[in-house]
Amino acid sequence: MHPGPCHVMTATIDRYYQSDIILIGDRVADTTLRKGGIPMNAPNDNTAAKGLREWWLSPPRPGLHRLINPWEYRHLRFSGVAHIAGGSAAAAAGVVCLSYGVDGWAAFFLVLAALHLAGGSWYLTIDRSAPAPT
């Protein structure tokens, strides 16, 4: 039985598929294997920030949220809880200093505690008000 013209065409395409040249836009890619590997047609998609300003502005965030370190902004819940824990430890140190009559150090630790507790609660407020990830 003689194979039809479609069967011959399919066999020819299948046989030469890997050694064909694939055109992508204006670029040409040779798909034949070489010792160095297969060349890629992908553009340079390096999206890393180029400098300090670009690093600080990624991810984009509104208004006063730009004051938050980008790593902390990406991990708001963890950072907020860590600030509250640090503030609680500083408050405890301030109370201990007050009990020993070291007022200067007590004031330092209590101010530090107030700042950490305020910052941690602000982080947790931002985290709660953020839309759910999709």
Other beta carbons within 10 Å of 96: 13
Q: How many residues does the chain have?
A: 134
**Confidence band (pLDDT; 50, 70, 90) for 53?**
low
Indicate the domain borders of the chain: 64-129
Cβ-Cβ contacts under 8 Å for 3 (sequence gap 6 or more): none
- Between the ranges 56-60, 84-88, 121-125, where is the mean pLDDT highest? 84-88
pLDDT tens, position by position, 7-45: 555 555 555 555 555 555 555 555 555 555 555 565 655
**Confidence band (pLDDT; 50, 70, 90) for 63?**
confident
Residue 131 confidence (pLDDT): 76
Phi, psi of 89 (to 5 degrees): -65, -40
Distance CA 27, CA 17 (A): 18
Residue 35 confidence (pLDDT): 58
Distance CA 118, CA 89 (A): 14
Question: What is this structure's pTM?
Answer: 0.57
Q: E strands of the chain, at which residues?
A: 21-24, 27-30
